[in-house]
Amino acid sequence: MITTAAAVSLLGAGAVGGFPNAALAADPDAPVIDTSRPAYAHVGDAYEAQLEGHDPQGQTITWSSANLPAGLTVSASGLITGVPTAKNLYKVDVVATDPDGNSATKQLYLVVKGAPAFIGDPPGPQTWHLNRPVSLVEDITDGVDVVDDEPEVMTVEVTGLPAGLTSTIQRTGSTNTIFAVTVSGTPTTVSSGTMVYTAVDPDGDRLTVPVPWTVGAPPPPTQPIGVTVTGGNGTATVKWNGTFPDSNGTEVSGWVVRANPGTSQTLPASARSVTLTGFDVTRYYQIGVRATSADGGEGPEEIIFVTPTELTLSPATLIAGYANPVDFSGQIDGLGPVAGTEAALEQKPAGATTWTRVTTVKTNRDGWWHHTVNPTVNTQYRVVYAGGDKMWAATSAIATITVRYAVTVTPSTTSTTVNTPVTFKGTIRPATPGVVAYLQRLTNGEWVTIQSTTQTAGGAYSISRGFPRGTWSLRMYASGGGSNGYGFTSAIRLTVS
């Protein structure tokens, strides 16, 4: 117990370790507070101190205070008692009041001493790894105790460290209040144990904190980052950016790139890409990348799924007029429609042996693309996707557009007499060698050829003939040449009298 007598413990000149004690301006009729420096208290110990003062009229003083440290109270006679619970430097306002209501207030500094403590939470259990550097820094303070204890200071040590680690103790700042405790080094054996932080101040107050630790086997490398797989026509280009930031110091010694189904390749530590071959673009594959190390084994694998690509092309078949617009549309689909992706629309006209590019199509945000062509001959179309992110190359089914010959006709007359020749002239487009122009009449609901001729090199034709009496429904019909579908004109009405 700390017990203080009025004359010895509570009446001292000056201040507590340089902390001033403050009083309000004196009222000549008010009591006078004589106490200037209460004795130190200690956490967990019973405390007793008498406040001292006098009244100019010699009346009895009543004491009070609203902000004593937790655990302490003051009686009307000015006796502070109790057991303080928290270490600190407290500003305490004490009030002395006489029976006439005159009062005086004075601010006193009361130091509650106690054991050293960590700044913040003490360290929890530690997990370290063999041959991996360790650095653990904690701050321990003796707080307000140093005010009374200097020049003596607390002592700090750490015991029970694993092989390869040491501790260093260093004062921080210009006082002896805070000490930085650093545990550092490189563990050399796999083991476990408990290290103990101990701090003892000049009053004998002690901080003891046991911290369990474990030194495990070297950890594996971390997972690769930035892994991408670009599918091609039976190939896959794999790229990566290294591993996640690795605080355990594991050094990557190489990489394993795996295809499932398929085989694995082992690459040097400097590698950041590889192109794999031999894939079936109609199948699903897993492509995995993982890091290896000399002493930590293999790390977790980053897996990318590569899917077949489905290309749609519509219409699949169509009969169109010469040079008329044909509107194509389609989707590029992996695990769903893909927006913002490009493919080549290709064509192979009649007579050609190779495919040529028409244009590059690009899907919109809904995964669709659209393009209009104006073919003049029979033409096949397809869409070719070169491959992309997580998708194989692909070629769509072929769309076939049959283009009819464009046939024109101008008769010399539409009203004539019996057996008077009528001349039918016109053109056939395109002007393809081997195309035959047919003059046809409608008989019993069917068109029947009555005369024919081959076109000129420029695509022109001419047919002349006479007709019996009657009304004739006629047309020109063109076919042959192999480049286009047959074409025909609208019906011509010829009156013969």
- From 181, 32, 59, 33, select the one nearest 117 (Cα to Cα): 181
Phi-psi region of 270 (alpha: psi -120 to 50; beta: other; left: phi over 0): alpha
Question: What pLDDT is attached to residue 246?
Answer: 59
DSSP helix/strand/coil, 148 = helix
DSSP helix/strand/coil, 223 = coil
Question: What pLDDT is attached to residue 8?
Answer: 27
Q: Class for domain 228-302, per CATH?
A: mainly beta
Percent of the chain at pLDDT > 70 equals 93
What is the tens place of the pLDDT at every residue in 309-323? 999 999 999 999 999
Predicted confidence (pLDDT) at residue 6 exceeds the cutoff of 90: no
What is the tens place of the pLDDT at every residue in 30-89? 999 999 888 999 999 999 999 999 999 999 999 999 999 999 999 999 999 999 999 999
Q: Strands 317-320 and 399-403, how do they pair?
A: parallel
Kindly state which CATH superfamily the domain 406-496 is placed in: Immunoglobulins (2.60.40.10)
- Determine contact, residues 308/394, Cβ cutoff 8 Å: yes
**Which CATH fold topology does 117-216 show?**
Immunoglobulin-like (2.60.40)
Question: What pLDDT is attached to residue 153?
Answer: 85
Predicted confidence (pLDDT) at residue 234 exceeds the cutoff of 70: yes
Question: What pLDDT is attached to residue 469?
Answer: 97
Predicted confidence (pLDDT) at residue 14 exceeds the cutoff of 70: no
Percent of the chain at pLDDT > 90 equals 84
- Kindly indicate the confidence band of residue 174, based on its pLDDT and cuts at 50, 70 and 90: low
Instruction: Give domain limits for the chain.
Output: 2-113, 117-216, 228-302, 310-403, 406-496
CB atoms within 10 A of CB 497: 10
CATH of 2-113, picked from 3.40.50.720, 2.10.25.10, 2.60.40.10, 2.40.50.100, is 2.60.40.10
Question: What pLDDT is attached to residue 219?
Answer: 87
Strand ranges for 367-445 from DSSP E? 368-373, 379-385, 394-395, 399-403, 406-407, 410-411, 415-416, 422-429, 436-443
Which residues neighbour 55 within 8 Å (Cβ) at sequence distance 6 or greater?
31, 32, 61, 98
What is the tens place of the pLDDT at every residue in 242-254? 887 754 568 899 9
Tokens of 223: 């997972």
Same fold, 2-113 and 406-496: yes
CATH no. for 310-403: 2.60.40.10
Tokens of 330: 């389609």
- Kindly indicate the confidence band of residue 148, based on its pLDDT and cuts at 50, 70 and 90: confident
